[in-house]
Amino acid sequence: MRLASEVGLDPTEVRSVLGGGQYAEAVRRDERLVTGLGATGVPFFVFGRVAAVPGAQSPEILLEAIEHVGERVPVGASFAGEDASAGRA
């Protein structure tokens, strides 16, 4: 909880989140997404929920992936079951 406090999080709320299951379905959904995109380890970068780059990569490779997805996914696009303002990419 020390780290949570250091970064400005409420330790009581952090304990509640870690001890509860309120985000369990969202985590399982993300696990299914990355498994479907081919994740077998970390690091694994997902772009626009439609493309992924596995492993440690150079900034140039990551930029190429971002640009590629940017051509295919409109800015502000929302994904199934998710509000575009949710802040998740």
Residue 45 CB coordination number (10 Å): 19
pLDDT tens digits in sequence order for the chain, 89 residues long: 889 999 999 999 999 999 999 999 999 999 999 999 999 999 999 988 888 999 999 999 999 999 988 887 766 666 555 544 444 44
With contact defined as beta carbons under 8 Å apart, do 21 and 36 qualify?
A: no
pTM for the whole structure = 0.60
Residue 83: the pLDDT is 47
Residue 80: the pLDDT is 55
Category of 49 on φ-ψ map: left (φ > 0), alpha (ψ -120 to 50) or beta? left
Residue 79: the pLDDT is 58
Residue 87: the pLDDT is 40
Q: For the chain, state the CA radius of gyration.
A: 16
Sequence spans of domains, the chain: 1-36, 41-76
Residue 76: the pLDDT is 63
Residue 89: the pLDDT is 40
Exposure on the CB side of residue 88, measured as CA atoms within 13 A? 13
